[in-house]
Structure 1
Amino acid sequence: MSDSTTLPRPTAPPRRTRRNRAPFLLLLGSLLILIAGLGYPVIWQIFTSFQHFGLEQQFGAPPTFAGLENYARIFTDDRLWSVVARSLAFCFINAFATVFIGLMIALLMRAVHGGARIVIQIALLLAWAMPMVAAVTVFRWLFDYRTGIVNWVLTSLGLTGFERYAWLSHPMTFYFVASLIIIWMSVPFVALSLFAGLTQISTEVTEAAAIDGASRSQQLRYILLPMVRPVLSIVLLLQLIWDLRVFAQIRLLQDAGAPVAETNLLGNFIYELGMGSHDFAGASAVSLFVLALTLLISWPYVRTLLKEDDQ
């Protein structure tokens, strides 16, 4: 009887799994609406920036092609670059100040418990929920040169020079008041976001570090901040973008008697070009420049995300 060898059975080629296209089809409608809603204004601004588009075109006159004339005219205007410098300084100072204050409040909420934490959270939510126009109105009343409580307190403390001092009539103090409004309205979002990130860190980690002799500052520097860095990065990026596009708060403060030419930021400068001077082509060119600035500010964070995906 001869030994029989068992031949291996041929394996069938792996069957290709069908990719379910239903989720993509369900998202297609929302994606098209999003592209239309965001893409149409950008495309319109791109075409308008290369045309002669003024008040006559608003009433039906056909625009004419201008080439790069609008860009050359706008970007050789000294007013634009002074506004850009003010806007970038305002943006970065307020964004970093907001994130720092929000981080301190988040650490405070992590340190306290019970009723104290609830009181802080309710105060943050109330400040965050206040309408922007109401918040600006309150700050205008606080810093009013005739009946403002800030001048009254400073004068009562014996500080000279604050009797009927017009905070909003001087560019430096104008931006100080504007920064207070922006920071006060933005800190709740940053603080609550960072506190949510801090709650994901187990207390056992910090307790073990304390047993090993790490001080509170070392725990913050080497444990808490590295572990909450993704949340810190995204809130800083969002704050930079929001502060670069500030418009309504500055506009409402300017209505109180501020020098418009010396207090304009990029959003207000675009508004003055479009609605004030009816230079819609120039306003479109500056708007695209602001879009490019936003992308430039966002690029370091996007590059970090791409590196993390590669790893």
Structure 2
Amino acid sequence: MSAADTTTPAKVPPPRQAPPPAAPHASRRPRTANGAAVPWLLLAPCLLVLVAVMGYPLVRLVTLSFQTFGQPQLWGFKPAEWAGFDNFKTVLSDSEFWSVVVRTIVFAVGCVVFTMVVGMAIALLLQKVSGWVKTLINIVLIASWGMPVIVATTVFKWLFDSDYGVFNALLSRLPGVDMIGHNWFASGPEGLAVIMLLVVWGAVPFVVITLSAGLTQVPKELEEAARLDGAGAWGVFRYVTLPILKPIVVMLTTLSVIWDMGVFPQVFVMRGGHPEPEFQLLNTYSYDRAFVVNDYAQGSAIALITVLLLLGVVAVYMRQMLKIGEVE
């Protein structure tokens, strides 16, 4: 036998057994009643403030709209009488009211369209400029956004003044244009166009800042892929950017409709506290009926109808948001 045959063969260690499976982790403990109540406890102060600030005025508004309430009831000479739906019948059968409703809708739609178009254009342009230019424009937008409405209205009133207005002087510098002494508020359409410009000027900064934040979430890879597929600037915006921004656009559009249908100080201050019939919107018309005609019940009925119209806008918004959530 050779030396190789006399060596003891090496012992092979037995295969290591797999450890027994660990016991599954206990599932999450179900939420207790105390845990479910914590969010409501945290929200309670805010809800109490909302009920205190908005609850009583809303209840009082609804109550007044179903009563006969004028100056005798205000001073306590007569008790308020229950009128049922008489105030609503009077308001809804008034042709002037429907003229105000149509004027308010046209005014709000014009403000919303111009606000969203101008805001989107500025937000897209901000993506193409350098950092310091973007910072400077954002500072200007925030400064204009933070300007009080009364101050902005007074400035616009001066800009479009018939005698000393800067806007008329600038237009008169154009060849063949003479706007010196032109009164923009001599007619309702021109005056409302000026007020619309004021509303758009105050609303654009919020839209631009919100859309600029949304544009930072658009993947650059999708835009590059669309360009490689032959899409132009409009195609990239329509099929890539806009669908991603759709929830933000829906939210901004809904908020703009609510704000623009509730315009009051711009019209009230621009017309010196006495808006003419061709300048009346729903809010100013309600105020006029309540505090000029001293029919507080009809003013409350008009305000309640306005609230119902705005609730319809909110319902459309909620439906659109639910559709977007189902698609995602």
- TM value normalised by structure 2: 0.85
Contact persistence 2:171–2:178 (CA under 8 A): no
Partner secondary structure for residue 145 of structure 1: coil
The whole-number CA distance in structure 1 between the counterparts of 2:132 and 2:42 is 45
Aligned to 2:43: 27
> Does residue 189 of structure 1 match 2:206?
yes
Question: Could you tell me which amino acid in structure 1 is paired with residue 32 of structure 2?
Answer: R
Aligned to 1:234: 251
Aligned length: 299
Q: CA deviation at 1:259?
A: 6.0
Partner secondary structure for residue 27 of structure 1: helix
Which of these residues, 158, 162, 167, is aligned with residue 150 of structure 1?
Answer: 167
Q: CA deviation at 1:298?
A: 2.0
Aligned to 1:3: none
Which of these residues, 288, 295, 298, is aligned with residue 311 of structure 2?
Answer: 295
The whole-number CA distance in structure 1 between the counterparts of 2:237 and 2:303 is 40
> Does residue 212 of structure 1 match 2:234?
no
Change (3 A) 1:209 1:51: same
The whole-number CA distance in structure 2 between the counterparts of 1:174 and 1:141 is 13
Question: Could you tell me which amino acid in structure 2 is paired with residue 68 of structure 1?
Answer: F
Aligned to 2:196: 179
Which of these residues, 120, 138, 146, is aligned with residue 129 of structure 1?
Answer: 146
Q: CA deviation at 1:45?
A: 1.2
How high is the sequence identity, in percent, across the aligned residues? 35
Aligned to 1:36: 52
The whole-number CA distance in structure 1 between the counterparts of 2:202 and 2:275 is 24
The whole-number CA distance in structure 2 between the counterparts of 1:184 and 1:310 is 35
> Does residue 305 of structure 1 match 2:321?
yes
> Does residue 261 of structure 1 match 2:299?
no
What RMSD in Å do the two structures reach over aligned CA positions? 2.1
> Does residue 249 of structure 1 match 2:266?
yes
Contact persistence 2:112–2:253 (CA under 8 A): yes
For residues 82-97 of structure 1, the aligned pairs below 5 Å read 82-97=99-114
The whole-number CA distance in structure 2 between the counterparts of 1:16 and 1:180 is 55
Aligned to 1:105: 122
Contact persistence 1:170–1:259 (CA under 8 A): no
Q: CA deviation at 1:160?
A: 4.6
Change (3 A) 1:64 1:215: same
The whole-number CA distance in structure 1 between the counterparts of 2:171 and 2:112 is 28
Which of these residues, 264, 267, 275, is aligned with residue 291 of structure 2?
Answer: 275
With 209-218 and 164-173 compared, the bigger mean Cα shift is at: 209-218
Which of these two proteins has the greater Rg computed from alpha carbons? Answer: 2
Contact persistence 1:169–1:259 (CA under 8 A): no
CA distances 1:164-215 after superposition (whole Å, capped 9, x unpaired): 1111221111011101100011000001100100011122221232233221
For residues 56-71 of structure 1, the aligned pairs below 5 Å read 56-60=72-76, 61-71=78-88
The whole-number CA distance in structure 1 between the counterparts of 2:309 and 2:140 is 34
Which of these residues, 163, 168, 172, is aligned with residue 185 of structure 2?
Answer: 168
- TM value normalised by structure 1: 0.90
With 176-185 and 51-60 compared, the bigger mean Cα shift is at: 51-60
Structure 1 alignment gaps of length 5 or more: 1-13
The whole-number CA distance in structure 2 between the counterparts of 1:307 and 1:214 is 27
Contact persistence 1:106–1:194 (CA under 8 A): yes
4+ runs deviating over 4 angstroms:
14-17, 308-311
Question: Could you tell me which amino acid in structure 1 is paired with residue 108 of structure 2?
Answer: C
Contact persistence 1:273–1:279 (CA under 8 A): yes
Structure 2 alignment gaps of length 5 or more: 1-27
Question: Could you tell me which amino acid in structure 2 is paired with residue 263 of structure 1?
Answer: F
Q: CA deviation at 1:107?
A: 0.3
